[in-house]
């Protein structure tokens, strides 16, 4: 009887422990997220209502003044405009080009595995290194891009300090860094499309263009749906390193997007209150964009 009761107690203890075991496993992750994401976000929201001294030892409550000054600041409006242009151009171009490249890499031709490996190489490079690499390629003196343009067309462009070429430079670098990630997902999706479906469409008289945009692209709509939202997040937040390395927001803050302006105001000029207010606005903008996209974009997704 004693042995039976002992086994029952152990079983009950095991059941109780099993209920809390999943929470124990996620506890370290939750602690890290709380310390480095949730707490800084809430603290930024708190600081957005204060004027903070450059040394951080004095805070004065100003209510909505930081937000009012922000929306009347021409620099802020320009940064939002560039953010929209930069993000929209990067996302649309990356998705379309990666889809076309994935179709080429999905062909059964000799050496395709080598080209797949080669095209994925930029994904292993950090964002800062990608910015430094393109800064060298676009250098007006020793850059290969200007060398080719000078020999082919007889023109040279000072890419990183000239309007509007500085914007073209950071957009090109961002697209180059994003493409491998998108290509991987599109290529995986294309390999899941049956060859019989493509052959049947060809027998029905569909040409290559029709197969690409009327069959393959709709079938890969879940992949496109995922990539668009991931690219929006990436181009909004991870563009900081590319802009900082290549143009530092110039010339004349021409390539300063919202995330880089937050850095300038918060760390370079020690305007903690206004920078926190801009952080709150960026969070609200991203939340609205994500909500609208999930409500509207989901209707266009076709799951096989």
Counting Cβ atoms within 10 Å, is residue 294 exposed (0-12), middle (13-18) or buried (19+)? exposed
pLDDT > 60? residue 4: no
CB within 8 A of 253, min separation 6: which ones?
75, 78, 79, 261
Separation between Cα atoms, residue 82 and residue 239, nearest integer Å: 12
Task: Kindly report, residue by residue over 176-229, the tens digit of the pLDDT.
Answer: 999 999 999 999 888 888 888 888 888 888 888 888 888 888 888 888 988 999
Return the structure tokens found at 74: 């021409």
Q: Does residue 276 surpass a pLDDT of 80? A: yes
In sign, the C-alpha dihedral spanning 81, 86, 92, 93 is positive
How many angstroms from the chain centroid is the CA of residue 152? 34
Residue 112's pLDDT is 77
49, 114, 53: which is closest to 270 by C-alpha? 53
Query: Using CA atoms, how far apart are residues 287 and 234, in angstroms rounded to an integer?
Result: 14
Q: Has residue 293 got a pLDDT over 90?
A: no
pLDDT of residue 259: 92
pLDDT tens for 230-262 read 999 888 888 889 999 999 998 888 999 999 999
Q: What is the pTM of this model?
A: 0.85
Distances in Å between the Cα of 142 and the Cα atoms of 69, 158, 164 are 43, 11, 21
Residues 116-130 have pLDDT tens digits of 888 888 888 888 889
**pLDDT tens per residue across span 104-119:** 888 887 877 888 888 8
CB of 152 within 8 A of CB of 67? no
**Which among 1-5, 136-140, 213-217, 277-281 has the top mean pLDDT?**
277-281
Number of Cβ within 10 Å of residue 173's Cβ equals 27
Across the chain, where does the E strand assignment appear?
50-52, 59-61
d(CA 95, CA 231): 9
């Amino acid at each position: 009887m004693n042995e039976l009761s002992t086994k029952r107690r152990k079983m009950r203890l095991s059941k109780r422990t099993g209920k809390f075991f999943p929470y124990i496993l996620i506890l370290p992750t939750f602690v890290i997220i709380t310390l480095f994401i949730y707490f800084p976000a809430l603290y930024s929201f708190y600081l957005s209502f204060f004027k903070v001294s450059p040394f951080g030892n004095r805070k004065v409550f100003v209510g909505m003044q930081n937000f009012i000054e922000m929306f009347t600041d021409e620099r802020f409006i320009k940064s939002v405009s560039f953010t929209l242009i930069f993000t929209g151009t990067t996302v649309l171009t990356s998705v379309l080009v990666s889809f076309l490249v994935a179709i080429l890499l999905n062909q059964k031709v000799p050496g395709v595995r080598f080209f797949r490996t080669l095209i994925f190489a930029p994904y292993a490079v950090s964002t800062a290194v990608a910015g430094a690499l393109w800064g060298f390629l676009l250098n007006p003196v020793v850059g290969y891009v200007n060398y080719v343009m000078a020999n082919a067309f007889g023109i040279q462009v000072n890419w990183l300090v000239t309007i509007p070429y500085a914007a073209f430079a950071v957009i090109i670098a961002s697209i180059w860094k994003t493409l491998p990630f998108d290509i991987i997902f599109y290529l995986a999706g294309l390999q899941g499309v049956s060859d019989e479906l493509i052959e049947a469409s060809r027998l029905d008289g569909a040409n290559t263009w029709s197969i690409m945009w009327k069959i393959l692209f709709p079938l890969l709509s879940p992949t496109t749906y995922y990539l668009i939202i991931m690219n929006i997040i990436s181009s909004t937040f991870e563009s900081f390193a590319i802009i900082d390395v290549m143009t530092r927001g110039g010339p004349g803050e021409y390539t300063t997007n919202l995330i880089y302006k937050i850095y300038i105001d918060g760390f370079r000029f020690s305007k903690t209150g206004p920078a926190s207010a801009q952080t709150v606005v960026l969070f609200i903008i991203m939340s609205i964009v994500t909500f609208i996209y999930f409500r509207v974009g989901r209707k266009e997704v076709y799951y096989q």
